[in-house]
């Protein structure tokens, strides 16, 4: 029998995927959970890592990406970084986009997706939110993931674009503007209070690989039992900087002092987490989603994509915590 109520009562579901670096792997589990519940996704808005997952979902390559991520080793992850001596960031970003092109065709355009996808970035000079709803997908994603101080910003005409999380870490308003009747938001910053803060370096500048004036010293930066880098060629320069990256990522507590300091990436990551938490709190006061899903990944570092399994598991648990709300507020209305 024709159901007239169903025809006029059906609602469009929009999903807002927030920023949060490697914590965003949890987005994959959320989308898988929604699919398992039979909840359709009619549109997506993503900020930073949320833009990556949105694009992968729309391309139909999310499962393949997920499986590859679970098999990734530390050397695979570090190989995605194309480090440069700090100018506008530590990483060029070309290798990361090359990696993503395995899953998102370089010719893909946002307006050609079967479901609408909006990607959020930030204009550096004006501080305004920039929303991409058309154009090359990978260009928009590259702008959206430009973590301040880590990835070099993207030039677009007269604009300089940085991470979407700087102004809009949870783009609920964007997905509402796209026409969503019911909104599901995935907030990766439910808190910024760490119960345990792993500090990788102590407060000795020289021990961290720098001089007393704070300048980089590549010879001192070489990990234990490794030769210092010879910067006479691009290849050697690259390997030398990669060894420096390895020391930043390495978890090691000093045996010389009880006073420990975080690495530069922990300082950047935690500072951004605090900023995005505060902005998200204000966003949620103005734009309350139909269902809010909040994975608890506070201990996960911004660039630690090797913790994929933990992030996926917590993403699933976060959905299960909201299972009844998803059923009552979403599934019964679509």
Q: How many Cα atoms sit within 13 Å of 222 on the Cβ side?
A: 14
3-class DSSP assignment, residue 142: helix
Distances, alpha carbon 290 to alpha carbons 21, 29, 37, 55, in Å: 24, 19, 16, 23
CA-wise closest residue to 264 among 321, 210, 213:
210
Active-site entry in 139, 163, 173, 273: 163
- Say which DSSP state 153 is in: P
Report the C-alpha gap between 164 and 145 in whole angstroms.
Answer: 7
Note if 48 is an active site residue: yes
Residues 6+ apart with CB under 8 A from 227: none
Active-site entry in 48, 51, 54, 146: 48
What string of DSSP letters covers 10-65?
---EEEEE---GGGGHHHHHHHHHHHHTT----EEEEETHHHHHHHHHHHT-HHHH
Q: How many Cα atoms sit within 13 Å of 184 on the Cβ side?
A: 28
Positions marked active-site: 48, 163
């Amino acid at each position: 029998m024709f159901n007239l109520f169903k025809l006029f009562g059906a609602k469009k579901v929009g999903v807002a995927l927030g920023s949060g670096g490697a914590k965003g792997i949890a987005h994959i589990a959320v989308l898988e959970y929604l699919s398992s519940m039979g909840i359709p996704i009619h549109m997506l808005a993503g900020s930073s890592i949320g833009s990556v997952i949105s694009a992968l979902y729309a391309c139909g390559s999310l499962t393949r990406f997920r499986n590859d991520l679970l098999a990734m080793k530390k050397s695979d992850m570090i190989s995605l970084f194309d480090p440069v001596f700090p100018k506008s960031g530590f990483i060029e970003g070309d290798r990361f986009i090359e990696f993503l092109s395995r899953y998102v065709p370089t010719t893909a355009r946002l307006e050609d997706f079967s479901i609408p996808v909006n990607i959020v970035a930030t204009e550096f000079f004006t501080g305004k939110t920039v929303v991409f709803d058309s154009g090359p997908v990978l260009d928009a994603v590259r702008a959206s993931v430009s973590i301040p101080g880590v990835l070099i910003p993207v030039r677009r005409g007269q604009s300089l674009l940085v991470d979407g999380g700087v102004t809009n870490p949870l783009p609920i308003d964007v997905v509402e503007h796209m026409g969503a009747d019911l909104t599901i938001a995935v907030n990766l910053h439910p808190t910024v209070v760490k119960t345990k803060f792993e500090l990788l370096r102590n407060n000795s500048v020289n021990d961290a690989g720098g001089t007393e004036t704070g300048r980089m010293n590549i010879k001192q930066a070489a990990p234990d039992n490794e030769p210092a880098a010879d910067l006479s060629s691009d290849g050697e320069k690259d390997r030398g900087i990669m060894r420096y990256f390895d020391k930043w990522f390495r978890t090691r507590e000093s045996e010389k002092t009880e006073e420990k300091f975080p690495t530069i990436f922990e300082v950047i990551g935690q500072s951004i987490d605090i900023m995005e938490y505060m902005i998200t709190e204000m966003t949620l006061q103005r734009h309350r989603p139909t269902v809010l899903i909040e994975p608890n990944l506070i201990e996960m570092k911004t660039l630690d994509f090797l913790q994929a399994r933990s992030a996926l598991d917590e993403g699933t648990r976060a959905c299960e915590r909201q299972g009844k709300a998803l059923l009552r507020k979403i599934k019964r209305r679509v």
